Structure 1
Amino acid sequence: MLADVQAAPDRRGVPLDEVGIEGLRYPVLVADGQGAKRETVATATMSVDLGPEVKGAHLSRFIEVLHGSREQLTPATVRALAEELRQYMGSSGARVHLTFPYFLEREAPVTRSRAFVEYTCSVSASSGPTGTQLSWSVDVPVTSVCPCSKAISDRGAHNQRGHITIEVKGADPVEGLWFDGLIAAAEAAASSPVYALLKRPDERHVTMTGYDNPVFVEDMVRNVCEVLSTSVGITAYRVRAVNDESIHNHAAYAAVSWREPRGAQPS
């Protein structure tokens, strides 16, 4: 029998809030909410709390639990992963956070040329004696045209590429508000989506579409909020839009947070 040093008693009487692993890159399959799975590589942070009487956590168990769930990451399986980790480690609380690139194949608006666009997504779950909590987020590249610039210019208007970040907490995503749905909400809130592949007719279309739909960062945040505020099952969200200004040496941003009770005004 080999000595189990981690399970040895500790006499210092200091409980630890978090013990675990971080920076682990691991292949996973993420459910896209449409019945398919998308291959990606997640960067994982996993932790449990540790009682004052226990010397250390068995870190190999984190990998075991993740490997057992890697083939189908859904809202239900991520919550189950956190609960399994808590039970396996004998802890009162466990947390899992996975960040990964998420690729969607997009058609160019005119030529229908296809190419993949990358989005940064994450999902987190925490488990305790009273249950599990789930949150997920997307970071979406977009294009926006400045309404003020358009209004005051004889020709053209300045535009910029930005990002809309949406973080959501709640029960199982409903009405398509898993990763694909949040990405769609962000892209619809901007002047135009960003594409990986555009031919000349596509570039013309995107440029004119953006010009016909100018938005401030404030508009983009509010547009996303209109979608989230009507979605059942969401208990909290945060939306943040950032534009890398094309005619200024600074970025512009807007953000809003909301949490239950439903009906409260965002702050």
Structure 2
Amino acid sequence: MLKDIQKSADERGIDIQHVGIKDACLPFRIKTKAGDFQQVVAHVLFTVSLPKEYKGTHMSRFLEILQRWCDKPVAEEEMEAMLQDALSRLEAETAKLRLSFKYFVEKEAPKSKRKSVLDLDCFFEGEKRIGAPMAFRLGVTVPATSLCPCSKAIANYGAHNQRSLLQAVVEFRPSAPCIFIEDLAALMEAQASCPIYPLLKREDEKYVTEKAYEQPKFVEDILRDVVLALRSLPEIFWFSIACENFESIHNHSAYASHEEYVGDEMRISCKTQKI
């Protein structure tokens, strides 16, 4: 029998909180709102805790666990199964898994009704301790359009606008149903001056230009409106939001971020900063 070096004793007395594999690149099938799945390529971060008594963990077992799920539709239930498998096979107290991937949502142009797909940067993240339910987080980054209220108020011939990125990470209450990527993305982009559509004809371009002009918003406005929208969702336990406007008349971005536990009386104050 080959000697198991990872299981040998370590005398430095240091528990390691997270040890495992990072940037493994694997195919996964992500469950969609339509009830089917979307094939994605995911970058994986998969770790467990390591007691101070042991020299190392068994890295190959992480990939063995992941490979079993590459051809099955994955959402929070399957994430918990992977984490439970890691706790058992690696004899750990805690396990953490993040799948980061591009997800495509269908967009219909507002006037021509031409259809196209918009790519979103997303992740699933689960963390589980022995005997406890998994803490699950969904991360979604959505592009949108913002138009400057100040520019509109002072200029005679229009207003400057910019492309924005709205980043949300939401954690769900135990046993609460999770929100689909499609629904969270739609909720977020609705708080900007106008959504982004990959494919626009002339009549669509006219519409989105005028739509943004009718809904001017600072980065602070967008962030606060996203906060209010997320507070209205009973499934959410905690969230963080970051909004970045890529300024068209400056060589810097406007930025705002905020996080809070939903329903907590001591809400974390909104942190807004321009850089």
CA distance in 1, matches of 2:65, 2:176: 23
Q: Contact between 1:144 and 1:210, CA under 8 Å: does it hold in 2?
A: yes
Instruction: Tell me which residue corresponds to 1:150.
Output: 152
Instruction: Tell me which residue corresponds to 2:227.
Output: 225
Instruction: Tell me which residue corresponds to 2:141.
Output: 139
Mind listing any 5+ residue stretches in structure 1 that lack a counterpart?
A: none
Instruction: Tell me which residue corresponds to 2:39.
Output: 39
Q: CA deviation at 1:110?
A: 1.4
1:213-232 per-position Cα deviation (integer Å, ceiling 9, x unaligned): 11111111111112211211
Percentage of identical aligned residues: 35
SS at match of 2:189: helix
1:62-108 per-position Cα deviation (integer Å, ceiling 9, x unaligned): 11211223322212221222222112110011110111111112111
CA distance in 2, matches of 1:263, 1:51: 37
Instruction: Tell me which residue corresponds to 2:181.
Output: 179
SS at match of 2:79: helix
Q: Contact between 2:231 and 2:262, CA under 8 Å: does it hold in 1?
A: no
CA distance in 2, matches of 1:167, 1:223: 15
Q: CA deviation at 1:264?
A: 4.0
SS at match of 1:69: coil
Q: CA deviation at 1:260?
A: 4.9
6-15 or 31-40: which moved more? 6-15
Q: Does 1:97 align with 2:98?
A: yes
1:191 aligned to 187, 190, 193, which one? 193
The aligned amino acid for 1:214 is P
Count of paired positions: 266
Q: Contact between 2:261 and 2:267, CA under 8 Å: does it hold in 1?
A: no
CA distance in 1, matches of 2:166, 2:54: 43
Q: CA deviation at 1:15?
A: 2.2
CA distance in 1, matches of 2:136, 2:5: 33
Instruction: Tell me which residue corresponds to 1:207.
Output: 209
32-41 or 99-108: which moved more? 32-41
Instruction: Tell me which residue corresponds to 2:20.
Output: 20
Q: Contact between 1:97 and 1:123, CA under 8 Å: does it hold in 2?
A: yes
The aligned amino acid for 2:106 is E
Q: Contact between 1:95 and 1:125, CA under 8 Å: does it hold in 2?
A: yes
157-166 or 112-121: which moved more? 112-121
Q: CA deviation at 1:266?
A: 4.3
237-246 or 178-187: which moved more? 178-187
Q: CA deviation at 1:247?
A: 0.8
Q: CA deviation at 1:5?
A: 2.3
The aligned amino acid for 1:100 is F
Q: CA deviation at 1:148?
A: 1.3
Q: TM-score, normalised by structure 1?
A: 0.93
The aligned amino acid for 2:31 is A
1:235 aligned to 222, 227, 237, which one? 237
1:248 aligned to 247, 250, 259, which one? 250
Mind listing any 5+ residue stretches in structure 2 that lack a counterpart?
A: 270-275
The aligned amino acid for 2:216 is P
155-164 or 47-56: which moved more? 47-56
CA distance in 1, matches of 2:218, 2:83: 39
User: CA 1:173/1:245 → structure 2, altered by over 3 Å: closer, same or farther?
Assistant: farther
Q: CA deviation at 1:263?
A: 4.4
1:173-230 per-position Cα deviation (integer Å, ceiling 9, x unaligned): 64x7331121011110111111211111111111111111111111111111122112
Instruction: Tell me which residue corresponds to 2:170.
Output: 168
